[in-house]
Amino acid sequence: MIVKKTYMAFFLILLISCAGLKTSPDAELAFEQGLVLFNQGKYEQAIPDFQRAAEIESDYTQSYIYLGRSYLNISQWVDAIPPLRTAYRLSPGETKKEAFNLLLDALIGGALQELKKGNLKNSVGYLREALDVDPASDKAKKELLSVLIAYGGSLMSEGHFADAIVQFSEAVELAPANINAYRGLAEAFINNGNFLDAMKTINRAINIAPTEEERTRLRDLL
């Protein structure tokens, strides 16, 4: 019984000690130095300090948030994504929403940045992650739909018809009323020799096409 009481007392002391643990002074100093620069609008100069704070204290949530914010403020969207992913994972309840919003902005911004470079696959990947983070984001859905259709068209032009089918199928699932997604999917099926699937896709599209002109163009695919 004495042994048990002694063990429990030790355990409680350990819990109290852990609860009272603070960020290391070196990490706090690095973060504060970065924060001064950040508040002066010197975002690029602040980045090394926030990086150092995160390296010293790997669960220092604010260092990741401000590192991500610094990258966002200089439009380095892709670079902002890794620290903001970490911030979102580490954030307690009161800062979770801030990390959530920043990560969503970074993912969508990173996707558009990759799109401008012609990196359609990377753009699709970031937008898929954005929808995983916030399935209700209309902006992420709209951008993903647009990039999926563009990516599918690019794959078709390179002769990768099976891969194009995957992209257009996802576009159709994402936006079941989008005629361009159906047309792309039908063309990919035709080029891949899947004529029955192409016919089914065209018939589905014809049923939702808003005009007779659009329905005629769909019929002309076969």
Q: Write the pLDDT tens digit of every residue in 47-84.
A: 999 999 999 999 999 999 999 999 999 999 999 999 99
Overall pTM surpassing 0.85 (yes/no): no
| pLDDT at residue 216, rounded to an integer | 92
Residue labelled with tokens 């002109």: 213
- Which position has the higher pLDDT, 18 or 99? 99
Cα angle at 94 between 64 and 99, to 5 degrees?
Answer: 35
Q: Where are the domains of the chain?
A: 25-118, 137-222
Task: Report the share of the chain in percent with pLDDT over 90.
Answer: 82
- Are 25-118 and 137-222 equal in CATH topology? yes
CATH 1.25.40.10 given to domain 25-118: yes
pLDDT tens digits for 123-160? 999 999 999 999 999 999 999 999 999 999 999 999 99
Residue 22 three-state SS: coil
Could you read off the pLDDT of 157-191 as tens digits, one per residue? 999 999 999 999 999 999 999 999 999 999 999 99
Q: Which long-range contacts (CB under 8 A, 24 or more apart) does 46-50 make?
A: 46/70, 47/71, 50/83
- Please provide the average confidence, as pLDDT, over all residues in the chain: 89
Does domain 137-222 match CATH 3.40.430.10?
A: no
Residue 21, SS3 per DSSP: coil
